[in-house]
C-alpha cells in the first residue's frame, strides 16, 4: 500500500473572518499527485488486461458519449462498483408562477455519488486495518520533503497497515 503525502497548513477556522482562531489543517502535498488522462488509464489497463490501449480508449470514449446522451435526457447512470452520475441545476426563486420559466435555470451540474465498494477510508482510523479500500497517509514534516513514515507493525505480514498507536 502506497503512502499519500500530506502537509500541514494554517488558516483561520472561518475563512475570511480575521477574528476567527488560527487552526492547523492537512492538505495533499502539491506536485506529488497527477491527473490521469484516458490515455494514461488505457495504458494502465493494457498492462494488466487483455485489451490494447487503443481498444480501451475506444471503449471509454464510447462510454462517455453514451453517458452524456443518457444524462441529457434527464436520466441517471449507475456504474456498478464505481458510482452514480446524475445532473442537477440551480434556479432562482420567483414570486409569480408566470415568471418561473426554464430561463431561470442558471447552472447545470454533473454530480457523482461514489459507490460504497469504492469509498476510501483513512487507514489510521479504520476499524479494519489494511482493508482494500484503506488509504495510508504520511505527514511531510520537513522542508527537504522527507516524511513521517508510519511505524511498521510487529506482525510478519508486511501487507498489513501500520498501527498508529505503536
Whether 26 and 6 have beta carbons less than 8 Å apart is answered as yes
The strand order across the sheet containing 105-114 reads 77-79, 83-91, 105-114
The structure's pTM equals 0.64
Q: Say if residue 86's pLDDT is above 90.
A: yes
How many CA atoms are closer than 13 Å to the CA of 94, on its beta-carbon side?
12
At 41-64, the pLDDT tens digits run 899 999 988 899 999 999 999 999
Which residue is listed with cell 430561463?
Answer: 103
Rg (CA), the chain: 22
Per-residue confidence (pLDDT) for residue 10, from 0 to 100: 92
Please name which of 41, 68, 70, 73 lies closest in space to residue 57, comparing C-alpha atoms: 41
Amino acid at each position: 500500500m502506497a503512502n499519500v503525502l500530506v502537509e500541514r497548513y494554517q488558516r483561520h477556522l472561518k475563512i475570511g473572518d480575521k477574528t476567527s482562531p488560527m487552526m492547523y489543517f492537512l492538505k495533499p502535498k502539491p506536485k506529488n499527485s497527477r491527473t490521469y488522462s484516458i490515455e494514461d488509464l488505457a495504458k494502465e489497463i493494457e498492462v494488466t488486461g487483455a485489451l490494447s490501449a487503443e481498444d480501451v480508449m475506444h471503449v471509454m470514449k464510447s462510454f462517455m458519449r453514451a453517458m452524456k446522451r443518457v444524462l441529457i435526457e434527464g436520466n441517471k447512470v449507475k456504474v456498478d462498483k464505481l458510482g452514480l452520475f446524475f445532473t442537477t441545476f440551480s434556479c432562482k426563486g420567483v414570486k409569480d408562477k408566470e415568471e418561473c420559466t426554464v430561463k431561470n435555470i442558471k447552472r447545470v451540474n454533473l454530480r457523482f455519488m461514489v459507490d460504497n465498494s469504492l469509498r476510501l477510508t483513512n487507514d489510521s482510523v479504520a476499524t479494519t486495518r489494511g482493508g482494500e479500500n484503506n488509504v495510508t497517509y504520511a505527514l511531510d514534516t520537513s522542508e527537504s520533503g522527507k516524511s513521517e513514515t508510519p511505524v511498521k507493525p510487529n506482525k510478519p505480514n508486511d501487507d498489513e497497515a501500520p498501527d498508529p498507536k505503536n
